[in-house]
Copies of this chain bind each other. A is one copy, B any other.
């Protein structure tokens, strides 16, 4: 179970082709074939059906493990690189689309003022991509948002020794067209809306999957899917009656054709958390500027 073999196994399974994977990885087709054979010999089970190339049950299981293992190996590398070597001259931040970046932008600018030689960058990415980016060392800090009960931590992808700190929390609102029968309510219960028509907009609103996980209720069926991250487009969809959307209260500006009704029950808040590994020098300056609320640390970790 050499990581090398795992990596090519993942590539083969993803591309459903030995030869394509070989080209991707810079091997010959023969090498890939032998690597897969070695893996199968080691585990004593066929992992792939050939022609067409499809994972077997065992292969599927291995795939589910391989990605996190490879991620964790990268994370270890990145972690070690951070503690050794000179402090880097850049500061790369990542944020999920709905994260509260208010403090971050200011802090980034402030760090650049204090350390003019460091270049700064900010990328907006999916929630998981932010966390894995930080783990891999491609980002120095990440800002991730999500929905939880007020006292619970966000449920992030587990990658080991990352620290988190709460940056801000706020209410959630249901966005409805102004003409909707519930638009005049002052508060809404989620249970009443399980059967409403929702827009599934993973990048522009709270993803319905996350909602189902937290609310434990089933339902929340998507009648419409929006794959962009543009908030104004999403709100236009809501106004046009494509469905409802759950959003952090802070992002819904007053619009005449929309109503934004606070969520009353269950008690859920929108929260953005700061994620980072052991801090490089510029990143430490940044987090110092951001750390207002109480610090918290991932399981099995201590904050320096």
Interface flags, A269-287, vs B, CB<8A=1, else 0: 0000000001000000000
Interface residues of A in 239-295 (CB under 8 A from B): 278
Whether A109 is near chain B, meaning CB under 8 Å from some CB there, is no
Whether A75 is near chain B, meaning CB under 8 Å from some CB there, is yes
State A62–B78 Cα separation when bound (angstroms). Answer: 10
Interface flags, A53-79, vs B, CB<8A=1, else 0: 000011001101110110011011101
A43 interface neighbour in B66, B80, B151, Cβ under 8 Å? B80
A64 with B160: CB separation less than 8 A: yes
Interface residues of A in 166-216 (CB under 8 A from B): none
Give the interface size bracket for A toward B.
Answer: 35 or more
Chain B minimum-CB-distance residue to A46: B84
A61 interface neighbour in B58, B61, B85, B278, Cβ under 8 Å? B278
Give the one of A1, A3, A65, A85 with max B CB within 10 A: A65
A58 with B84: CB separation less than 8 A: yes
A299 with B158: CB separation less than 8 A: yes
Which residues of B lie under 8 Å from residue A161 when comparing CB positions?
Answer: 61, 64-65
A66 with B76: CB separation less than 8 A: yes
A76 with B58: CB separation less than 8 A: no
Instruction: Give chain B nearest CB distance to A197 CB in angstroms.
Output: 26
State A198–B3 Cα separation when bound (angstroms). Answer: 46
- What 4 additional pairs, Cβ within 8 angstroms, besides A58-B83, A62-B76, A65-B73? A2-B3, A3-B3, A64-B79, A149-B151
Between-chain CB contacts (< 8 Å), 16 pairs: A2-B2, A3-B3, A43-B77, A43-B80, A57-B83, A58-B83, A58-B84, A61-B76, A62-B76, A64-B160, A65-B72, A66-B76, A69-B73, A149-B151, A152-B152, A158-B299
